[in-house]
Chain A
Amino acid sequence: MTKELPADPHVAVVATAGGVEDGPLTMADGTSLKSAMARAQFRARLRAFLLVLPLLAFVVITFIMPIGELLKRSVYSPNFHDNMPNLVAWFAKHPPGTEPDESAYAALVADLRLLKKTKKAGLVGTRVNYELPGSRSLFTKGARKAKKLEPPYREALLKLDPKWGDPALWQVMRAAASPYTMNFYLAALDLKRDPSGKIVPVEENRRIYKMLFARTLALSLLITFLTLILAYPIAHLLATLPLSKSNLLMILVLLPFWTSLLVRTTSWMVLLQSQGVINDALVALGIIGDDGRIQMMYNKTGTVIAMTHILLPFMVLPLYSVMRTINPSYVRAARNLGATSWTAFRRIYFPQTVPGIGAGALLVFILAVGYYITPALVGGSDGTLISNLIAFHIQKSLNWSLAAALAALLLTGILILYWLYDKLVGIDNLKLG
C-alpha cells in the first residue's frame, strides 16, 4: 500500500499553525514535519499490523508449518539411514559404481543383526520396497536368519537368497542410505532411475499416477463446464428478476451451499443406487426394464453428477454478482438497432458476463481438483481422483513420502491457480451468499 495520505490530519494543521514560512516545515516542538509524519504513519501501520499479527501467527503454526512438514516429508525418508549405520558408512566411504565387496556384505550382515535386535527390519524393508517391489521380505527374512550367517558373508547371503546380489537392489540401497531423496517425486510422475542412474519411465503396467492426474484434470474440466452450463441460465434469471422474487429463488441456491457435504453426498447415493429412487422411477415409468437398471454410482458418472451438484452454487454466486451489475439498456439498445435476440445476447450480453464466468470457473476448478469426500464415497474405482490416492497412501499402503510428494505436486498446481485467481479476480471479491 503506497497511499501517501497523512494518517493523522492534525499533524498538518499543527505544522501550519507553527507559523514557519520559509525552509523545511516543522512541528510546534521543532522536529521536521516530514519525520513526524513518517513516524505517525509508521505507528498507524504498526497498529494495523499488530491487529493482524495474532491470526497470522496462528495460521502459520496451524497451517503453514504443517504444509512445510508435508513438503519436507516428500523428500525425507530416514528409515533406512537411521537403522542401517554400517552399510550407510560403507556407502559413504565407497563412491557410486563400486562393486559391493566382502566388506560391504559384512556391513550388511552387521546391520541385519542390528535390525533383528531393534525390530526395525519391516521399516527398512518397506523403504526399499517402495522402489524395488518384492524386497520387503528379503529384509525381514535376512534379519531373522542373520545370526546364523558366517563369513564369507557374500556367499552366505547369496545362498540365503540370490536376490542379495542384484545390482538394482544395491543401487536402491545406496539411494536409500541418504535420508533425502527426490525419488518419491519421480515415483509420483511414473518415473524411476534405471541401474545406471538415468531417469526413465516405469513399465507400462505400473503407470498409474500420470493417468490419475490426467483423469483429475479431465473430470474437473468436465465438472466446471457442466456447472457453467447449469449456472448461467439461473444466474441470469436471478439477476433479471425483481429483488423480492430473486431473493426467494436465491434460497434454493444457498440452501445446498449451507447443507452438509456428507448429507448431499448421501442424498446422491440414495438417488443413484441401482435400487435407488431414480432407477425405481425409470423402471416404474417403463423406460428401462427391471434387469436393465443403470449403474450410475461407484463410477465416473456418480462422481461427475454429485460434484456438479455440490459445486454449482460456487458458479452461480460469482455469475450472479456480475450479471446483477449489467445494465439492461445495452441489450435493449442492440435490439433497437436491429439485432436479433440471439445476436444481442452473443455480441452484447455474453461479453459482459465473461469476468463472472472466469471467476466462477476458476473457483469451481480449484475446488474440484482437490475434492476428496464425494469421489471417495460415490466414485468407486474409476471415479476416484488424485486426492483419494493420497489418502490411500497415508491410510492403507503407509507410503507417507509418496503421499507427500503427490500432495506437493497437487499443491503446486492449486497455488498457481490461486495466484491466477488473485490476479484476475482478487481474493477481496470472494463473497459468500
Chain B
Amino acid sequence: MALPNYASPLERIWHYTYLVICALIFLFLIAPILVVIPLSFNAEPYFTFTPKMLALDPEGYSLRWYDKLLTFGMIDPDAPRDLAWWADVWENSKWVNAAKNSFIIGIFATILATGFGTLAALGLSRPEMPFRRAIMAILISPMIVPIIITATGLFFFYSKIQISHWGIPYLGIILAHATLGIPFVIITVTATLVGFDHSLNRAAANLGADPRTTFFRVTMPLILPGVISGALFAFVTSFDEVVVVLFVGALDEQTIPRQMWNGIREQISPAILAVATILVIVSIALLTTVELLRRRSERLRGVSPR
C-alpha cells in the first residue's frame, strides 16, 4: 500500500508509525517460535542466553540436549557408539519410543480421518445432499467443542465399553484422534470441491467411463491436493494432541506431546527445547508442503490466485 502523493505530513508520520506497529506485531507472532532454536543449542542447563552465547563463542553452544534426547531412558548410554548402541537407542530411548508411538497413532488416525472425510466431503458438496447444514455442523463440532470436554466424555465412554480390554493397542487414542482430524479434512476437501467443474465428471461418463473410473481418473487427481492438505492437517492435529492421550492413554502409550507435557510439568530441561526445535522444523516443512499443494491445486483448477 503506497502512500498517496496527496498525503499530509501528519499522514506520512502515521503511515510509518503504522508500518512499525505492524512489524512489532509480526515480531510478536514469530519471535517466540524462533527463540527456542538457538536456546536448544545451549551448553548450560539454562533457558536464557548465556554471556558466551551472546558473544557467539562456540563453547557456549553444544548438541548435548539433542544427545540427551537419544540417550534418555537407554540401558547403557555410555557404551561406545556402535551398532549395539544404536539398537539400544531404538529399543529403549524414551523420546525415540514416544516418536514411534506418535507416528503409529498419527498415521492410522490420518488414514481413518482422510478416508471417511474425503468420502463425506464428496457427498456434502453435492447440491442434492439432504440436511446438509445440520450434518456439517455435527461433523465440524469436534473442532469447536473444547478438547477437555471431548477427553472427559471419551474417558467415561471408553471405561464403560472397556476398550482397553479389546486387545488392540492405541485403539482408543487412534479413534479419538481420527475424530479430531475429521473437521480439517472436511473443510479442506470441500473447499477444493467448491471450484470443481462437475461437467468434467459428465464428460467422463459420456465418454464411457463407469463411476469408479470417473472417480479415480478424473475427480481424484483434481481434488488430490486438497485431500493431501487435509491429511496433513489431520496428522498434525494427532501429532500435537496431548489431552486425550493423558485422559485415555495407557501408561505405556507415551507420545511426543505427552512426554513433553511431563517434561514441562516436572523438570523442564533444555532437552524440551531440542524437541521443540525439531517440531518447529517439521512444521516449517509441512507449511511449505501445504502452500505448494494449494498453488498446484489452483493451477490445476485454473483458478488464478486472488
Q: Which residues of A contact B (CB under 8 A)?
A: 1, 3, 5, 7, 41, 44-45, 47-52, 54-56, 58-59, 62-70, 73, 230, 233-234, 237, 240-241, 243, 249, 251-256, 258-271, 273, 275-277, 280, 309, 312-313, 324, 335, 341, 366, 369-373, 377, 387, 390-391, 394, 400, 403-404, 407, 410-411, 414, 418, 421-422, 427-428, 430-433
Q: List residues 70-123 of chain B with CB under 8 A from any CB of chain A.
A: 112, 116-117, 119-120, 122-123
* Docked CA distance A430–B233 (Å): 14
Q: Are A266 and B26 in contact (CB under 8 A)?
A: no
Q: 1/0 contact trace for B173-204 toward A, CB 8 Å?
A: 00110110010100110110000000000000
Q: Are A263 and B149 in contact (CB under 8 A)?
A: no
Q: Are B152 and A237 in contact (CB under 8 A)?
A: no
* Docked CA distance A184–B128 (Å): 45
Q: What residues on A are CB-neighbors of B142 within 8 Å?
A: 59, 63
Q: Are A48 and B26 in contact (CB under 8 A)?
A: no
* Docked CA distance A430–B129 (Å): 19
Q: 1/0 contact trace for B24-59 toward A, CB 8 Å?
A: 011011101101100100000011110000000000
Contact of B1 among A70, A240, A276 (CB under 8 A): A240
* Docked CA distance A208–B178 (Å): 35
Q: Are B130 and A48 in contact (CB under 8 A)?
A: yes
Q: What residues on B are CB-neighbors of A62 within 8 Å?
A: 154, 175-176, 178-179
* Docked CA distance A56–B154 (Å): 17
Interface residues in B, total, Cβ within 8 A: 99
* Docked CA distance A313–B149 (Å): 23
| Nearest 6 pairs of A and B residues by beta carbon | A370-B146, A51-B123, A66-B153, A66-B157, A55-B120, A240-B1
Q: Are A309 and B29 in contact (CB under 8 A)?
A: yes
- B133 CB within 8 Å of chain A: yes
Total inter-chain residue pairs, C-beta < 8 Å: 279
Q: Which residues of B contact A (CB under 8 A)?
A: 1, 4, 6-7, 11, 14, 18-19, 21-22, 25-26, 28-30, 32-33, 35-36, 39, 46-49, 112, 116-117, 119-120, 122-124, 126-130, 132-133, 135-142, 144-150, 152-158, 160, 175-176, 178-179, 182, 184, 187-188, 190-191, 233, 236, 239-240, 242-243, 247, 257, 260-261, 264-265, 268, 272-273, 276, 279-280, 283-284, 286-287, 290-291, 294, 305-306
* Docked CA distance A89–B88 (Å): 62
Q: What residues on A are CB-neighbors of B287 within 8 Å?
A: 251, 254-255, 258
Q: Are A63 and B257 in contact (CB under 8 A)?
A: no
Q: What residues on B are CB-neighbors of A324 within 8 Å?
A: 306
Are A262 and B257 CB-contacts (below 8 A) given A255-B284, A427-B136, A433-B290? yes
For the A-B complex with A47-B123, A56-B135 known, give 5 more contacts whose Cβ atoms are closer than 8 Å: A1-B127, A45-B128, A260-B240, A268-B32, A370-B146
Q: What residues on B are CB-neighbors of A341 within 8 Å?
A: 7, 11, 14
